[in-house]
């Protein structure tokens, strides 16, 4: 049940006729893609319960209330004459609905958010009855609580950011989730919205590392430069945070494996500083992805060798022999076609490791029955590691922004199809 418009007008000190004209339209007629996508997105958000719960449920608890009703209004003027893209009003209560949460949304399509504009809107929110400020743009972040801009946040006001890629991911999630109940009409709406988001004319862009990637990455590769420029390391680290988020989406889109970034909810500055520190010490970028079952996947990019590595660790089973455990792992890789590119490493602790490709181990098994050169029966196994290398066709490709992105994405997808899913879905 929607709230009485008079109550809404009094709450925000808005003229009732003006409010009526500002209500979101599912079928906009603007010639500007940014106007159209705003209306279509907000219409999906207000009309499809599962869509808004999947997008906002972990951030805005009242939105999952059974009596929750969400309304959206576009370009309602602020006191300073600014016009944010949308005002969201959430009410709860069956017979006498009350306003329980409100938010202002600012969206950008094809360009980044303007920090000065964002700060003005946020200042307006702080001095109003509005609870949250939400931004949407092409800029991916590792978590909705991490912002792609600098903002001095108030403890009383929540600030969230989504990329349009995040919105696409939510559409895919609810369409593919067997536990999500969609009516036939809701399913059609989400499918059409997803098709719209994928249209080239809409200009939703994948993230590509910055224009200075070539120059910055070459500097890190150059071993003759002993003291690396702090600004260069900051730029690469900042790019990497966005690259991680973009990878999560494309891995999900191509393999249906839902991932998050471990420790992504850390304070943005703290997390960035941790990446900078690690890159400064090791000349490597490292990310740990985590799936819904809390399995960890490690991705490393090495600027010294201009290569990468993606892997998972598996802990040994108790009371099961070394050979039996290796054989069990090998059985998961029958007919993968990539056995020669997948490495199995056994870590016995104290810097004692043995490694072979799955192909080599399969050949050993065929020739000698149940004997493997990487098995040391006298040593307890600390862990198994299964990995694939990320090699670039030419070393110069490592320094090309587009080829760097596509190579990492393609190799990560191969890993999830031929290693991760082989281990955890069979």
Cα gap 41→73, rounded to integer Å = 12
What was the pLDDT predicted at 1? 54
Distances (CA, A) of 105 to 118, 286, 287, 414: 10, 33, 30, 37
pLDDT at 347: 96
Would you call 411 helix, strand, or coil by DSSP?
Answer: helix
Q: Quick check: helix, strand or coil at residue 344? A: strand
| Tens-level pLDDT at each residue, the chain (426 residues) | 565 666 667 666 777 666 677 778 888 877 788 888 999 999 999 999 999 999 999 899 889 898 999 989 887 765 556 678 888 999 998 888 888 999 999 999 877 788 888 898 888 888 888 889 999 998 888 889 888 888 887 778 889 999 999 999 999 999 988 888 899 999 999 999 999 999 888 878 777 777 789 998 998 888 777 677 888 999 999 889 889 988 999 999 999 898 989 887 767 788 889 999 999 999 999 999 999 888 999 999 999 999 999 999 999 998 899 999 999 999 888 777 889 999 999 999 989 999 999 999 999 988 876 789 999 999 999 999 999 999 999 989 999 999 999 999 999 999 999 999 888 875
| Helices first, then strands: H and E counts in the chain | 14, 12
Write down how long the chain is.
426
Q: Does residue 349 come out as left (phi exceeding 0), alpha (psi in the -120 to 50 range) or beta?
A: left
Quote the pLDDT of residue 147.
86
Predicted local confidence at residue 77, as pLDDT: 66
Neighbours of 269 (CB within 10 A): 10
CB-CB contact of 170 with 46 (8 Å): no
Q: Which residues pair with 310 in a beta bridge?
A: 299, 388
**Residue-by-residue DSSP string for 103-141:** EEEEE-SSSPPPHHHHHHHHHHHHTSS--EEEEEES---
8 A C-beta contact, residue 23 and residue 71: yes
- What is the chain's Cα-based Rg? 25
pLDDT for the residue 84: 83
Distance CA 360, CA 368 (A): 12
């Amino acid at each position: 049940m929607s709230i009485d418009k008079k109550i809404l007008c009094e709450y925000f000190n808005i003229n009732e006729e003006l409010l009526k004209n500002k209500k979101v339209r599912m079928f906009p007629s603007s010639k500007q893609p940014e106007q159209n996508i705003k209306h279509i997105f907000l219409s999906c958000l207000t009309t499809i319960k599962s869509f808004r719960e999947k997008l906002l449920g972990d951030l805005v608890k009242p939105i999952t209330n059974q009596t929750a009703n969400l309304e959206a209004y576009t370009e309602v003027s602020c006191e300073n004459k600014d016009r944010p893209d949308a005002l969201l009003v959430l009410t709860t209560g069956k017979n006498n609905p009350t306003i329980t949460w409100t938010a202002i949304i600012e969206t950008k399509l094809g360009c980044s958010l303007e920090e000065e504009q964002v700060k003005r809107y946020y200042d307006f929110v702080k001095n109003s009855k509005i609870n949250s400020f939400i931004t949407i743009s092409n800029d991916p972040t590792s978590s909705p609580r991490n912002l792609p801009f600098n903002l001095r946040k108030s403890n009383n006001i929540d600030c969230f950011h989504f990329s349009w890629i995040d919105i696409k991911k939510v559409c895919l999630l609810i369409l593919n989730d067997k536990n999500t109940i969609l009516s036939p009409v809701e399913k059609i709406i989400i499918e059409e919205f997803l098709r719209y988001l994928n249209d080239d004319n809409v200009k939703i862009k994948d993230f590509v590392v910055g224009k200075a990637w070539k120059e910055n990455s070459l500097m890190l590769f150059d071993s003759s430069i002993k003291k690396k420029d702090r600004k260069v390391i900051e730029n690469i680290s900042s790019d990497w945070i966005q690259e991680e988020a973009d990878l999560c989406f494309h891995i999900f889109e191509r393999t249906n494996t839902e991932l998050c970034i471990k420790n992504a909810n850390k304070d943005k500055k703290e997390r960035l500083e941790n990446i900078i520190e690690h890159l400064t010490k090791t000349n490597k970028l490292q990310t740990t992805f985590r799936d819904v079952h809390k399995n960890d996947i490690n991705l490393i990019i090495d600027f010294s060798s201009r290569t990468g590595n993606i892997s998972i660790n598996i802990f040994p089973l108790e009371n099961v022999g070394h050979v039996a455990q290796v054989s069990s792992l090998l059985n998961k890789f029958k007919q993968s076609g990539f056995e020669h590119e997948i490495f199995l490493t056994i870590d016995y602790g104290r810097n004692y490791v043995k490694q072979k490709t799955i192909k080599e181990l399969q050949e050993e098994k065929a020739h000698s029955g149940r004997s493997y050169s990487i098995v040391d029966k006298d040593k307890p196994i600390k862990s198994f590691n299964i990995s694939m290398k990320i090699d670039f066709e030419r070393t110069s490709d490592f320094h090309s922004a587009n080829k760097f992105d596509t190579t990492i994405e393609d190799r990560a997808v191969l890993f999830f199809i031929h290693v991760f899913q082989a281990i955890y879905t069979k």
